[in-house]
Chains A and B, each alone.
Chain A
Amino acid sequence: MTPDLILEGAVWLSLGCFGLSLLLCLYRVVFSTALPDRILALDTMTINVIAVFVIVGIAEGTPVYFEAAMLFAMVGFISTVAFAKFLLRGDIIE
């Protein structure tokens, strides 16, 4: 067991964990009783995708994926707030 192997195994294990939690969130998006609940699940999915980007960056050893992760963080926040505002008022920019 070299540290390289342990690190590779940890990368795959955490990718699996985040993939499984993406699937669980997708279940909550599809089967839910309340609309804000689905929005929350979509927000959690964007957060998990950010983590997946960062882990892929570690696995490939390039810092290229940070911009994508940053964009996902921003767009995910904006879209969540816009969805919630639409549910509250029926309009986004009044």
Chain B
Amino acid sequence: MTTLVQLLVAAMLVIGGGFALVGAWALVRLPDAMTRLHGPTKAATLGVGAVLIASMLYFWGVRGVPSWHELLITLFLFVTAPVTGFFLAKANMHLSWTASEIPPPPGNGNDWATFGDEPGPGAGPLPARKPGGHGRP
């Protein structure tokens, strides 16, 4: 039984390392910033997920101590990975696309906040601007 668990842990570790390599290689190899968003998601979910499963199996099957910490890390990574992906994609769009290439925001006559300092109609009063460094030129 312990032998089987040890072999399973070894297989999971190798699979996780392979997926991490694939993700990092995609980060180096893919041509532009938007396509490079695609690669590291594999490393974040499958690579680290396999390593965390390996850790759970090891502490439960070999050491005889059930361990649930890994589930917390998995949950946290799986919840936060889409958020970071969304933020980085939005930063990419608003930094390198022109205003006409980006689809308009919902609502009538609104503008994306990153393309101007004035909020659209219905956005409420403009907060006091800090001097310097606020908004993009």
Contact = CB atoms under 8 A, between A and B. Distances in A.
Chain A interface helix/strand/loop/mixed: helix
Nearest to A26: B24
Q: Size band of the B side of the interface?
A: 35 or more
A43 B1 CA distance: 38
Interface string B63-76: 10101011011001
Contact of B27 (A25, A34, A87): A25
A35 B131 CA distance: 24
B40 to A, nearest CB: 4
Contacts, number: 186
Dominant secondary structure at the B interface:
helix
Contacts of A87: 91, 95
Contact of A48 (B43, B72, B76, B114): B43
Contacts of B135: 89-91
Contact of A21 (B11, B20, B76, B90): B20
A21 to B, nearest CB: 3
Given A36-B95, A85-B87, A87-B91, A13 B14 contact: yes
Given A43-B40, A43-B84, A55 B13 contact: yes
